[in-house]
A and B are shown apart, each in its own frame.
Chain A
Amino acid sequence: MAEADTLATPRQRQDNLDPSRSFQGLILALQQYWASWGCVILQPYDMEVGAGTFHPATTLRALGPKPWNAAYVQPSRRPKDGRYGENPNRLQHYYQYQAILKPSPPDIQELYLNSLKAIGIDPNVHDIRFVEDDWESPTLGAWGLGWECWCDGMEVSQFTYFQQVAGFECSPVAGELTYGLERLAMYVQGVDNVFALNFNGRDDDRRVTYGDVFLQAEQEYSRHNFEFADTAMLFEQFKMAEAACQKYLDAGWTDEKKGRHLMALPAYDQCIKASHVFNLLDARGVISVTERQSYILRVRELAKACGAAWLATEGGGA
């Protein structure tokens, strides 16, 4: 009966999707939850970013008067956090789940708690807490107030009310929920090593772990990020991205009065690019402390100019 093995029974399929048994099941449960609430479910942005916040669906859409509700998974790269796959908690590439709700609804905390219920965390059994954590992104010229959300002493999400992005005041205010997916999955699966996470929810020989999918990548990218990333090329790329960003920004204005901009998104891509290249250079240890500050400032200037351009587009409410 080889056929029966390949096609799981409905019951098995259900188990394979149980968020407490399967990494992808957890992601799908969150997708389902936020989709049913009415969020636009987006796919990951197709560029390297350090966090889900960099996705234009958050950074740019948080600006301007238009309502916006979206959710998506975002692969996030933090070159410096790589540990050659040897640390059970640290990764240079991981997934964030991001929900952005603008204006932040009055029951946003309830929505968040219900999303935890949707992935099997019952707040009458677990100790859920909102612990002060103010968020600031110097590179994005952004800040907000909120909390880190604890479940039994573990931080499982970041909850932020954006006050400013790209140097502009957010009005209305967007509420941003960021779930650290690996950490959350480790918690609900009861696993201490991220590479031991069950990825597909099967327990037989078709079981696939997080390590099966990503361990090799962690090893290879750690080597790349810390030892071999071509710094001469990266320095050049930073300059090119910065110049291109400015070029697109300048070219995008329809007239002298700067009332309308036609290329905010392509310009912002270059800002993201510069930011990631900077992170790689930083991981390679070729940027001194003082230089570091000036690179951050340079990216921030790009982000601010992109924000200004976005506000002059239709999406930005102009």
Chain B
Amino acid sequence: MPDLLLEFLSEEIPARMQAKAADDLRKIVTDRLVAAGLTYEGAKAFATPRRLALSVHGVLARHPDIREEKKGPRVGAPENAIAGFLKAAGLKSIAEAKIEKDAKKGDFYVAVIEKAGRAAIEVIGEMIPEVVRGFPWPKSMRWGSGRLSWVRPLHSIIATFGPETEEPEVVAFNIDGITSGNETRGHRFMAPGAIKVRRFDDYVASLEKAKVVLDAARRADTIHADAKNLAFAQGFELVEDAGLLAEVAGLVEWPVTLMGTFDQAFLAIPGEVIRATIRNNQKCFVLRDPQTAKLVNKFILVANIEASDHGKAIVAGNERVIRARLSDAKFFYDTDLKARLEDRLPKFDGIVFHEKLGTQAERIARIVALAGQLAPVVGADAAKAERAALLCKADLLTEVVGEFPELQGLMGKYYAEAQGEDEAVAHACEDHYKPKGPDDLVPGDPVSIAVALADKLDTLVGFWAIDEKPTGSKDSYALRRAALGVIRIVIENQLRLPLRLQLWHHFGAVGRDEALAEAIAVLHPLQEQIVELSATDIELAVKLEVLVSEKSKRLTGPVLVQAHSHLRQSRDLLAFFADRLKVQLREQGARHDLVDAVLALEGQDDLLMIVRRVEALAKFLETDDGQNLLAGVKRASNILRIEEKKDNKSYAGAPDAKRLAEPEEKALAEAVTIAKKEASAAVAKEDFAGAMSAMAKLRPKVDAFFDKVTVNVDDGALRENRLKLLNEIREATRAVADFSKIEG
């Protein structure tokens, strides 16, 4: 069966786009082949800086002829029936239809539709121009006077098709002046001549001869192996960098790995700064001493040619550029060390953090205050937490971070250490940004924790206050990451952080208004009472004024209304945390319904306790007691739901002990009272396993009750009492979770 070879030769394709483009090409072409009825055996795609190539082997040479018979109306049917048939079958006149004899029902017409199969090469020839025109480059462009769009100007296209044993044919097409053919070019400098190609095998071999390695993985392997060998030969070790390796492999067609040197004196700069300089600006690798793990004054560069002077000029040129870059870096670093971090702070007065959230200086002041408040909660020294919060953003104003934003935090740590700050304070300058992603560690030192939480909570509350919440895929301020960071810090450090209290309070700080902060403080004890008040209530201000009138005469309606609106926002933010927690727990394999069952309880704002409850609940449900109790509670809930709907009333409230008739219901009532008490006591001690055991004791009583006792009896009073008893089961289990939310 024939093979298809495609190559698109263009000007230099950005390294970061190559892998995905190869993958897209393979997927789009093979999907379209299959959609056209042309199956294939396998496909491989490749990318270099100048070409995108695809080999599809074992393609069907043509799709088969299609013969189809369509049954029509009987002979002599009304005219419009015949006309409809002709139209549906695509016939010009009824003479083109066959007549099928049928003695019983009468003769009828049959249309025979025959579609000749088409040669695959024709189908492909029509398909490829469409693929080119619709190719999903992240960014594409026009050039010259043409209208075609490609990532960079497209120069030629190879398209050959044919079986292994024969000379393949060129798949003929023309796109905007580019005619498909069987010719490509080799390396831009070392073998720029034309190369005739037949099929994939000789294509790869000819390119290799023309100093082009088609396969990116092979180029990366070569670079990696050569770089390691070069390093090893001099007693050094390559600092691995998979991202850089992939990028460099996308910048060359013929990798030539060379080693260069820089002045030893530059090693006085922190290693990360040297690496960032050499990596980001020059796309070169750095090396270290395997004994000390410190960088050495060598670097590895990857050239695209075998130069006639064996790379002497290339190495010398790169060394000069790196010398200049490191001189800059050293100058930046030395300059930075001349100023103390706190002396940089006044500059933050003039830097806007966000139009609606004030300056960086104001934000830092909030973080300082919040870190101080959180310090005792997380076991940190408040003075150190405040000091760390004050300094933690100062490195943003340093030269090195200006040049390499990715070194923010790390440089803060170095500069804090250099000016003799406490070790915990210095580390917080770096660690308060953590966790930076799902794979990053969370900070473990209490001072870092306090600052990290303060930083993230301030961000979240701030953007909630100005209604810049993430929507769908849009999360410009990385608020999901911030919330997840808070969740992970709290859970992995086993912290108790009552979010409800912290959040609303901080809305006051973000508001930059003393009266607002006071209003929140005064309203705080009343929050459950006022949270349900409608924000659109025209009497809201008056109601709130009356509520606080004893404590403060100073607070006016508008400020109270604003405090109330922040309360609603804080509840919304709390729900956002619950949502992120659900996602997080689900990713760790927890059942989402158990998370829902716990979150459905009132006042769940303690992340660690939520997780503990979910864990205990999951364990409990793995036992027979758990499963059976769940079945019992569900049965009770179902009966209640139906009866409550029928009677249009709710059966809340304690059952009347005097009306308990059967021994099973007496036993159940007693057991419920005990279970409730024990479970609450256990929950109060945060012993969720204990609470579950208390619940487990209910199970035989519930089972016996359902076995022996009929709920819907004729005696109305007795029925009501029994329904109330069922409600008590539901209520009792709510000490640990809302069982109605649990599936199964």
Contact = CB atoms under 8 A, between A and B. Distances in A.
Contacts of A173: 141-145
Interface in A87-112: 88-89, 103-106, 109
Chain A interface category by residue count: 35 or more
A128 interface: yes
A89 B151 CA distance: 33
A289 interface: yes
Most A C-beta atoms less than 10 A away, residue of B143, B322, B328: B143
A285 B146 CA distance: 45
Contact of A127 (B141, B307, B320, B327): B307
Interface stretch (A118-126, A238-246, A309-317): A118-126
A208 to B, nearest CB: 24
Contacts of B308: 124-125
A106 B328 CA distance: 39
A187 B352 contact: no
A131 B251 contact: yes
A163 interface: yes
A151 interface: yes
A172 to B, nearest CB: 4
Nearest to A163: B141
Contacts of B151: 145
Contacts of B323: 192
A262 to B, nearest CB: 28
B12 A152 contact: no
Interface in B286-340: 301, 303-305, 307-309, 313-314, 316-318, 320-324, 327-328
Most B C-beta atoms less than 10 A away, residue of A89, A144, A147, A152: A152
Contacts of A88: 324, 327
Contact of A130 (B12, B155, B301, B321): B12
Given A147-B12, A152-B318, 6 more contacts: A125-B307, A130-B11, A152-B316, A153-B318, A192-B323, A192-B324
Interface of B: 11-12, 14-16, 49, 139-145, 151-153, 155, 189-190, 251-252, 282-284, 301, 303-305, 307-309, 313-314, 316-318, 320-324, 327-328, 350-352, 355
Interface string A164-198: 00000001110100000000000100101000000
Contact of B321 (A124, A147, A154): A154
A286 B305 CA distance: 49
A288 interface: yes
A174 B656 CA distance: 91
Interface of A: 88-89, 103-106, 109, 123-132, 134, 144-147, 151-154, 161, 163, 171-173, 175, 187, 190, 192, 288-290
B15 A132 contact: yes
A192 B632 CA distance: 84
A290 B352 contact: yes
21 contacts: A103-B145, A106-B155, A123-B189, A124-B305, A124-B308, A127-B303, A127-B314, A129-B252, A130-B11, A131-B15, A145-B139, A151-B317, A152-B316, A154-B321, A161-B141, A171-B142, A173-B145, A187-B317, A192-B320, A192-B323, A289-B352
A153 B303 CA distance: 9
10 closest Cβ contacts across the A-B interface? A152-B317, A132-B14, A130-B12, A153-B318, A172-B145, A127-B303, A145-B141, A103-B145, A103-B144, A153-B321
B60 to A, nearest CB: 37
Contacts of B140: 145
Contact of B314 (A89, A126, A289): A126
Contacts of B189: 123-124, 128
B317 A126 contact: yes
B144 to A, nearest CB: 4
B321 A152 contact: yes
Nearest to B250: A132
